[in-house]
Structure 1
């Protein structure tokens, strides 16, 4: 107990201070600390677990441990204690309130998401007075039988949603709208004067006029009528509103944008380095509309390569704290939907003066980078400049040129040497990437092709050429240089950080790898090379796809933060986004920092670190928000597309295993659906979380990640975005080898519904009770069984 402070010696002598303990000891001859004394301990020493409490009070006998376990569980049930996500005991202060964001659920309950705290449970009767997305203050009123802290909402501080898409209903003269957002379970009444003559079952857009509370019912007015059929355009608007994505520029921004010129002015060039004669080109996808990067490469006499990466000088036009800047920060990222974009910047900037279109002058930030034959960045400089793109090239075109297409090489003869140099540099950088241990997962990316109505025509594998990787390596190198340049300046900016995997995920991953006689080196902090070595060792195994999937899911999510903690996945010590200021706000911050240094500006006037922490949290949130919104639209499109295949059978592979079933991706269609566990006939199937499988209790039939199966499409519902499959045939190969290492440890059957619980955790976490692991042998095992009953 080295981490327990000296003042806890007081508690170790509880028998001198705890009156209830003394009375119990005298009457019965045995006793443990009283509830009040335990509470006093936890108020003084939070974040301790069962074993620490027992140690502090010097409880060692089996009956003492049993009694303490029972007392703590009773205090949890009564709502005076709770177990947090790390299984530490926490005291519930009835006078403490929490402020967080309300997250609704289709079943009527919700959660209050509080920074740095496990989510707080909002029961259905409390959710009637708040909406999903609200910022609310709440107090804990107890703990449910799953160990979740229950809260009562005190007040709503700020409403998150103002508009919604919903279905209009008219019944016996009463008009109402039920939102399409399933996280909002309230029905909104509509006064007859505010219906816009919507018909029953029309899809409408509403503006909330009265929010639900104890004294008011939810009311709204219809602002737009769409008709009965849901379309992709309405679904996109639904996602924008549901995720509260800013999508209209302020009047102030519209006014400021008129002051920005359509062309580069002569007075803007006086202090800039002129790159207009350099054969810089843009290389993008065929559907790209805005071009914010251009490249050129030459080979030096010493064998090194000099790479020029030109990035649109957005910071020149978007002045800090301007209305344009404030709108850009609120959005923080462009959001890309099918045939629709919610841009971070006004189109006059993103598609106009900031887009590096061919044959026009454009202001840029230039990174001049020198790379040696080993792929090391040996020198870098940044300049404010002006350029004139010599061509707008596509990935497909560049690939054909570097592959040696004679006709194309003749057509683009002035650019061919530069493109060949780029290709040679790419090979050097790629080799260096492999040598430093960058984690490269061999996954299939897909491309969605749309019909004239904006709905899915088909989904195909996305061809990824070396030309894609050329630009990727150029941008990574520029981002490395930007991070190093800024670190030298001592300015506080946002680094793109990919944290190391956390200990719990590492433990689960290593347990899983044991089944295949694989390991992961590196101890508590494995390196990217350790991951790469394990992937290489697994390549020849039949279960490689499954192993790769589990390893990918063990990684953390990349974030923006002012502390430079490196990028784990890319195996880099320095990384900051610099190359996409048109569509990412952190890149704009990076540009401002570099420009401040180049102009010898006052560093004290730059963003303070406290402000930068907040900006990192906001921009990271906006990135997740954009991903969630685009995923929602894609899920709708996929469910809509698969409606035409209901009743058809397909081959597929298992992509995810859960306690309530398995998700299967259809072969050649690349759409996932759920095979619910109730569809698995002939046995009781147990969820083995550690080995990512479902296994039959009697037959030992098992279903694992990447196993091939055949399924039938039984439901595809765009409204709920649910796709359900029926299993036609079991695993075709590889999943039923009873001699596999996975058969050596079969988990015990859960009680009750078991497999049908979509939130299943280990039992003690689900119940929120103390269930200790001690060294008392069979007696302690017997006690644990008794505690579960």
Structure 2
């Protein structure tokens, strides 16, 4: 938030403040006529963010002073909704169907409180203003009548169907998946109106479900021509000066371990057991920033996308495939630029030494979770023989993994065991099987190695006193945790009372329910009782990991914050 935003809020929080017009505020902050448009934009942005409200008389104030609340509406298929307030510590506010006043799921709204919460009853509100609409375009199924039709939204939290006149059907047939643009928002009990702008295809046809998801979230499948062109202009040759200035690890046994279908290999690992019993763990991450320069077309597009999106039958990458699957991917037997973190770890799992540096690696093998598990768990003769020169290292990895896991458990980290599955599709995109996703020893090795690397990087940068981006997970909300404690108590589980909850206490509950029929429901409720992890310039710790320091460093091909963190680190280590 800029200084002017802070100044505006400080001014409005003064007890003597009364709602003002923009012109009056401009006088207070000495804004001249030439700056008025920019000042208006600042106020508009603050209104959208929920930090201030604008009254019907165009006067500005903070919501609390007006007995108003601001936030995002979370709809329900039954017609009511909840306002998730902007300040996470504030309770959700119930809004009945008759008090929604045309607001839809995910709209930013302002509401007045019509009934304060009391005991088991929630605070209830009435929406008085919709600040920002979230559903200008929707994906749904078209239901056609003779002279009109309706689009039933895929998002069940939007409980109203969209009315479509005969002239706005765009050739859509009954039962087809379509994209509809809302042209008139709902008023009182009238449905919103719209026009069909794209016909996706018959519901149930192969690929239509995935296409619907892409359209629903407006995922950018294609890259702009400029971005593709800039990616194609990048040289495959690594300049000689990079070989000279980086640490050469090409003769070190380094492997990637990933899923069979993964193509964007951004992390590789190496382990060496030292004579004194300690372990030397190397985590080597693709140096994406070498290719993606700040403020370049590639960087701007990556920032816009934010992350790669993994769907059942495809990946929508954050970076063009020439980078994500090619130049940056740590493919076997190819020289690749990396940012490495080498750690010396003792028998208790403590990192006693570490070093962060730019490097060049040549991955020895592209290993899969399946093959590493075959070696370590099944002792599969054929796989062991094929990778015989790496087997000792894999066994050291397994030993180190267990040490790191036990250390995390000792400090109280929460380890949720949710059952996941993977949908297998044929070459046409048709589902042919559903398989459980197994968290085998190979998966756990990579999990533990990435966790300890992220922790080490975060702690290093914290003590260096460098402005940094941390991944933080704050202590749970007391009210939500109290509900969880009551729920599990009724199931026969006791959560130790304490002034400040420690993750170790919750970990004990997870251990107690392991393998029991109520495990999934208790784990899910606990997860929902926790706060959401977020990025912050402040090092606030990570409750779920029971750790003081944490960041996202290990996935720069598919996650933009990691890319930004690499820039900060490289700027720091290169002076």
For Structure 1 versus Structure 2, the TM-score category normalised by the shorter chain is 0.7 to 0.9
**CA–CA distance in 2 between the matches of 1:202 and 1:574?**
50
1:479-530 Cα shifts (integer Å, max 9, x gaps): 1111112112323333222333332344344445556775444612243333
- Tell me if the contact between 1:191 and 1:221 (Cα under 8 Å) persists in the aligned partners: no
Give 1:358 deviation, angstroms: 1.2
Task: Give the counterpart of 2:472 among 486, 497, 505.
Answer: 497
Matches of residues 11-410 of structure 1 in structure 2 within 5 Å? 100-108=71-79, 113-116=84-87, 118=91, 132-135=105-108, 138=110, 140=112, 142-143=114-115, 147-153=123-129, 156-157=131-132, 159-168=133-142, 170-174=144-148, 177-184=151-158, 185=160, 187-189=162-164, 192=167, 195-206=169-180, 208=181, 210-212=183-185, 218-227=193-202, 229-231=203-205, 233-245=207-219, 247-250=221-224, 252-403=226-377, 404-410=379-385
**CA–CA distance in 2 between the matches of 1:442 and 1:186?**
38
Give 1:357 deviation, angstroms: 1.0
Give 1:535 deviation, angstroms: 5.0
- Tell me if the contact between 1:247 and 1:342 (Cα under 8 Å) persists in the aligned partners: yes
Match of 2:55 in 1: none
1:415-436 Cα shifts (integer Å, max 9, x gaps): 2332232223223323333333
- Tell me if the contact between 1:94 and 1:141 (Cα under 8 Å) persists in the aligned partners: no
Give 1:367 deviation, angstroms: 0.8
Q: What is the TM-score of this pair, normalised by structure 2?
A: 0.76
**CA–CA distance in 1 between the matches of 2:519 and 2:313?**
36
Structure 1 alignment gaps of length 5 or more: 1-42, 45-90, 601-789
- Tell me if the contact between 2:249 and 2:359 (Cα under 8 Å) persists in the aligned partners: yes
Task: Give the counterpart of 1:418 among 386, 393, 398.
Answer: 393
Give 1:175 deviation, angstroms: 6.3
* Rg (Cα) greater in structure: 1
Give 1:476 deviation, angstroms: 1.2
1:68-103 Cα shifts (integer Å, max 9, x gaps): xxxxxxxxxxxxxxxxxxxxxxx9989677664454
- CA, structure 1 residues 130+582, in 2 after alignment: closer, same or farther (shift >3 Å)? same
- CA, structure 1 residues 201+490, in 2 after alignment: closer, same or farther (shift >3 Å)? same
Give secondary structure in 2 for the equivalent of 1:165: strand
1:398-420 Cα shifts (integer Å, max 9, x gaps): 12223544443332233233223
1:431-458 Cα shifts (integer Å, max 9, x gaps): 3333333333455444444456645544
Structure 2 alignment gaps of length 5 or more: 1-14, 17-61
- Tell me if the contact between 2:345 and 2:353 (Cα under 8 Å) persists in the aligned partners: yes
1:232-286 Cα shifts (integer Å, max 9, x gaps): 6332333344345555544553444343334544454442222222221111111
Give secondary structure in 1 for the equivalent of 2:506: helix
Give secondary structure in 1 for the equivalent of 2:337: strand
Give secondary structure in 1 for the equivalent of 2:310: strand
Give secondary structure in 2 for the equivalent of 1:276: coil
Give 1:181 deviation, angstroms: 3.5
Q: What is the TM-score of this pair, normalised by structure 1?
A: 0.57
Give secondary structure in 1 for the equivalent of 2:539: coil
Give 1:533 deviation, angstroms: 4.2
- Tell me if the contact between 1:439 and 1:569 (Cα under 8 Å) persists in the aligned partners: yes
Give secondary structure in 2 for the equivalent of 1:419: helix
Match of 1:593 in 2: 568
Give secondary structure in 1 for the equivalent of 2:572: helix
Task: Give the counterpart of 1:477 among 439, 442, 452.
Answer: 452
Match of 1:84 in 2: none
**CA–CA distance in 1 between the matches of 2:428 and 2:388?**
41
Give 1:378 deviation, angstroms: 0.7
Aligned CA RMSD, in angstroms, stands at 3.8
Q: Which moved more, 1:478-487 or 1:143-152?
A: 143-152
- CA, structure 1 residues 502+166, in 2 after alignment: closer, same or farther (shift >3 Å)? closer
- CA, structure 1 residues 135+258, in 2 after alignment: closer, same or farther (shift >3 Å)? farther
Give secondary structure in 1 for the equivalent of 2:374: helix
Give secondary structure in 1 for the equivalent of 2:198: strand
Give 1:149 deviation, angstroms: 1.6
**CA–CA distance in 1 between the matches of 2:526 and 2:499?**
15
**CA–CA distance in 2 between the matches of 1:261 and 1:450?**
35
Matched, 1:558 2:499: no
Give 1:146 deviation, angstroms: 6.5
Match of 1:616 in 2: none
Q: Which moved more, 1:119-128 or 1:432-441?
A: 119-128
**CA–CA distance in 1 between the matches of 2:206 and 2:394?**
40
